């Protein structure tokens, strides 16, 4: 499993999310992929106003775990679900 973080330079929320996501990845022995949203026009078009955004796996709407602020319980729950063979599907009303 990989956590994927969309971030950008000069963004204090991005720095905070990166710190927390790196801690969660390290604690769970999983990879963290960091992508600069501004380096990819396709990602800016969809995710620009939500950065930072953290995903369980690739950058896809159904994989979104949280945006703006790290949601530790949600991230840990998604990691546990994936390890148990269950999908970690995000319900839009639970993301924030």
- Cβ contacts of 90 within 8 Å, gap of 6 or more: 61, 62, 63, 64, 65
- Kindly tell me the sign of the dihedral angle through the C-alpha atoms of 36, 26, 60, 92: negative
DSSP annotation of 6 reads E
Q: DSSP secondary structure string, 10-64? A: T-HHHHHHHHHHHHHHHHHT-EEEEEEGGG-HHHHHHHGGG-SEEEESSS-GGGE
Question: Is residue 1 within 8 Å of residue 79, measured between CB atoms?
Answer: yes
The series of mean pLDDT values per 10 residues for the chain, 96 residues long, is: 95 98 95 97 95 96 95 93 74 49
Neighbours of 6 (CB within 10 A): 27
DSSP annotation of 77 reads H
Q: Where are the domains of the chain?
A: 2-87
pLDDT at 85: 78
Query: pTM for the whole thing?
Result: 0.89
CATH topology (fold) of 2-87: Glutaredoxin (3.40.30)
């Amino acid at each position: 499993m990989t956590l994927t973080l969309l971030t950008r330079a000069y963004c204090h929320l991005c720095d905070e999310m990166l710190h927390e996501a790196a801690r969660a990845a390290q604690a769970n022995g999983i990879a963290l992929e960091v992508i600069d949203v501004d380096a990819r026009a396709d990602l800016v078009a969809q995710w620009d106003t939500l950065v930072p955004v953290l995903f369980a796996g690739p950058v896809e709407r159904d994989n979104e775990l949280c945006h703006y602020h790290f949601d530790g319980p949600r991230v840990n729950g998604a990691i546990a679900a994936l390890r148990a063979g269950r999908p970690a599907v995000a319900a839009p009303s639970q993301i924030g």
